[in-house]
């Protein structure tokens, strides 16, 4: 009886959270943490925890589709994971290989036009896993309905270091001038295909750290971060929706700060030269939500009236 009550309460809470969510993130990145601890808690071996976590991954793909999220990146295997013993590492490779082939052939993937991509130092992986990566990427290469990035043999520092070396080599060859080294030049060299800036990082499992995950795309975009206690196999839709709500709350706060800065800038410029203030206001309005743009316009109108008086 109590189980039925809990399930009913959870479904009701999901509906409440659903109603609270407005414009969610475009790109969510998840650190799939806690599989091994979940297995130990249940008296199982690590591979059992990873298999249970794979079902959560399936669920998250469904939730992303329901919420209109356009890109999902899953931290599946880090460069540090190579240090794990063979009896843990090899079954994990087996699971990754199987899931890549399964995704590549799944009806839902083709119906929703999901592009499956691997990011990271894929060449470090066993041949059989690389073959599965090639198969999944080639089968979904022409899709643009949704992007699923699977971070394999991934490390954020290694990613940045590799991009920096590529830039240096391009400059040395004369293919790139020093003046052309900008954000886009680095961005093009971070992965084989473009990755959107990350809006939200979610980490289950209780640890409050982002573990060298997508530093360029997340930190550079000041991504929101949501930490929660459940292990990855226990991660629920309620947990996911709470993460989305955290993003929206942070985004509203950030937009408020941007608007206040824009209004202050327009006020300061208008005190010196009204025409310059009009130019600045026009540029700022393009970068703000409609409510913020309205506040900038109101401040400019106020300064214009004061000058006329």
The pLDDT score that the predictor gives to residue 196 is 86
Residue 149 structure tokens? 């990035």
| DSSP string for residues in 192-213 | SS--PPPSEEEE-SS----TT-
The pLDDT score that the predictor gives to residue 2 is 46
CA atoms within 13 A on the CB side of 177: 2
The pLDDT score that the predictor gives to residue 15 is 56
The pLDDT score that the predictor gives to residue 11 is 59
Q: Is 26 marked as a binding-site residue?
A: no
Instruction: Please identify every residue annotated as catalytic.
Output: 33, 81
The ranges of the chain annotated as CATH 3.40.1180.10 are 25-235
The pLDDT score that the predictor gives to residue 136 is 97
Q: Is 40 marked as a binding-site residue?
A: no
The pLDDT score that the predictor gives to residue 297 is 81
Q: Is 79 marked as a binding-site residue?
A: yes
Q: Measured between alpha carbons, how far is 214 from 228 in angstroms, rounded to an integer? A: 19
Spell out the per-residue pLDDT of the chain, length 309, in tens: 445 545 554 555 555 555 555 667 899 999 999 999 999 999 998 889 999 999 999 999 999 998 889 999 999 999 999 999 988 899 999 999 999 999 999 999 999 999 999 999 999 999 999 999 999 999 999 999 999 999 999 988 888 888 889 889 988 898 888 888 888 888 888 877 778 889 999 999 999 888 889 888 887 667 889 999 999 999 999 999 999 988 888 776 666 766 777 778 777 777 767 777 777 777 777 766 677 778 778 877 877 777 766
| DSSP string for residues in 249-290 | HHHHHHHHHHHHHHHHHHHHHHTT-HHHHHHHHHHHHHHS-H
The pLDDT score that the predictor gives to residue 107 is 93
Q: Is 210 marked as a binding-site residue?
A: yes
End-to-end CA distance of the chain: give it in Å, rounded: 74
The pLDDT score that the predictor gives to residue 299 is 73
The pLDDT score that the predictor gives to residue 179 is 84
Q: Is 84 marked as a binding-site residue?
A: yes
Is the Cβ–Cβ distance between 276 and 307 less than 8 Å?
no
Q: Is 35 marked as a binding-site residue?
A: yes
Q: Is 82 marked as a binding-site residue?
A: yes
The pLDDT score that the predictor gives to residue 261 is 76
CATH 3.40.1180.10 holds for 25-235:
yes
What pTM was computed for the model?
A: 0.78
The pLDDT score that the predictor gives to residue 5 is 44
Residue carrying structure tokens 């401040």: 299
């Amino acid at each position: 009886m109590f189980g039925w009550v809990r399930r009913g309460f959870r479904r009701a809470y999901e509906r409440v959270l659903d109603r609270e969510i407005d414009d969610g993130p475009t790109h969510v990145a998840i650190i799939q943490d806690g599989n091994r601890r979940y297995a130990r808690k249940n008296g199982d071996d690590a591979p059992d925890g990873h298999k249970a976590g794979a079902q959560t991954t399936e669920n998250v793909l469904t939730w992303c589709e329901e919420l209109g999220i356009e890109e999902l990146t899953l931290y599946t295997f880090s460069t540090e994971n190579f240090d794990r013993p063979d009896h843990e590492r090899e079954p994990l490779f087996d699971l990754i290989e199987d899931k890549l082939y399964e995704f590549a052939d799944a009806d839902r993937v083709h119906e929703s036009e999901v592009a499956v991509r691997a990011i990271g130092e894929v060449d470090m992986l066993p041949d059989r896993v690389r073959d599965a990566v090639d198969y999944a990427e080639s089968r979904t290469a022409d899709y643009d309905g949704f992007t699923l990035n699977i971070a394999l043999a991934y490390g954020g520092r290694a990613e940045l270091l590799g991009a920096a070396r590529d830039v240096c080599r391009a400059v040395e060859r004369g293919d790139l001038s020093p003046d052309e080294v900008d954000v886009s030049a680095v961005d093009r060299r971070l992965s084989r295909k473009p990755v959107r800036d990350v809006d939200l990082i979610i980490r289950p499992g209780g640890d409050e750290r982002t573990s060298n995950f997508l530093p360029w795309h997340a930190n550079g975009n000041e991504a929101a971060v949501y930490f929660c206690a459940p292990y990855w196999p226990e991660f629920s839709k309620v947990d996911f929706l709470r993460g989305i709500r955290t993003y929206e709350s942070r985004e509203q706060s950030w937009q408020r700060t941007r608007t206040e800065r824009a209004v202050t800038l327009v006020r300061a410029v208008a005190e010196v030269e009204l025409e310059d203030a009009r130019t600045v206001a026009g540029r700022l309005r393009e970068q703000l939500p409609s409510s913020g743009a309205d506040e900038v316009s109101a401040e400019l109108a106020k300064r214009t009236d004061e000058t006329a008086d």
